[in-house]
Amino acid sequence: MSNYPVIAIDGPTASGKGTVASLVAQKLGFHYLDSGALYRLVALASEKLGIDVKNAAELGFLVPKLLISFNNNQILLDGEDVTDAIRTENIGLRASALAVHPEVRTALVGLQRGFRQSPGLVADGRDMASVIFPDAVLKVFLTASAQARAERRYKQLIAKGISAKLSDLLQDLQERDARDSSRGAAPLVIAEGAKVLETSDLSIDQAVKTVLDWYQSVIT
Ligand code: CDP
């Protein structure tokens, strides 16, 4: 592993970690890894191929065959722009279902660690601090109440022109929380040494500032 600094930001679904992590990366001029997008890409590709989410072996074999590229704000899968296609609730639930398999998780490790490049990386996900970058210089567990997260997700989807129902979203995210936290392989946990950031009552700017302040205090 290289020595470039990593800020790991983990947390439950719709906690805002993606927004906060990418803004922190921007401010520091660091690279940004949206690890959830990788699970979503596996979900989309396997759906197209008709692979069952329970078929751990076939899903594991599929991962190294995928041609994934992150191009500014665009995500390409085998040359096709799938930036919006991977953001649906259906793909999110499918991603969470296949993320339980160690075969899938192991196949994605190298790809994720490859994002650690000069001058540094901000990585967001569920197991960034616990499994992928255990030597992260700063570990943040970013969370918010289920209600606040459902409302954020609702606004996000509506803004994108995707129709949604708040009560369904709340139920989906509680299901996903339960599955992400209880699975055997790399469950969503507050890593040892992680600082908890409760964002129910924080603006995005306040959350970003807190992470940047914490980072300054660990490197000075
Ligand atoms: O947008 P949201 O936070 O709901 O999900 P995401 O970060 O895009 O990740 C989609 C799914 O992938 C999650 O529900 C997790 O089950 C899984 N995931 C994971 O297992 N490990 C990661 N490092 C990132 C995502």
Predicted pLDDT of residue 140: 98
- The residue whose C-alpha atom lies closest to atom 17 belonging to ligand 1 is 96
| Domain assignment present for 162 | yes
SS3 197: strand
* Other Cβ atoms within 10 Å of 147 Cβ, number: 12
For the cut 80, the answer to whether the pLDDT of residue 1 exceeds it is: no
- Averaged pLDDT for residues 161-172: 91
Q: Which atom of ligand 1 is nearest to the CA of 97?
A: 16
For the cut 60, the answer to whether the pLDDT of residue 139 exceeds it is: yes
- Averaged pLDDT for residues 163-192: 89
Predicted pLDDT of residue 129: 96
Q: Name the β-bridge partners of 68.
A: 77
Q: Which atom of ligand 1 is nearest to the CA of 112?
A: 23
The boundaries of the domain holding residue 176 are 6-214
| Domain assignment present for 220 | no
Predicted structure pTM score: 0.92
Q: Is the CB of 129 under 6 A from ligand 1?
A: no
Cis peptide before 119, with omega less than 30 degrees from 0? yes
Q: How far is the CA of 150 from the centre of ligand 1 (A)?
A: 15
For the cut 90, the answer to whether the pLDDT of residue 36 exceeds it is: yes
Question: What is the CATH number for 129?
Answer: 3.40.50.300
Take residue 157 and report the two structure tokens written for it.
């989807």
pLDDT tens-digit profile of 74-131? Answer: 999 999 999 999 988 899 889 999 999 999 999 999 999 999 999 999 999 999 999 9
Q: Is the CB of 31 under 6 A from ligand 1?
A: no
| Domain assignment present for 136 | yes
Please count the structural domains in the chain: 1
Predicted pLDDT of residue 165: 92
Q: Is the CB of 107 under 6 A from ligand 1?
A: no
**Rounded Cα–Cα distance for residues 110 and 88 (Å):** 26
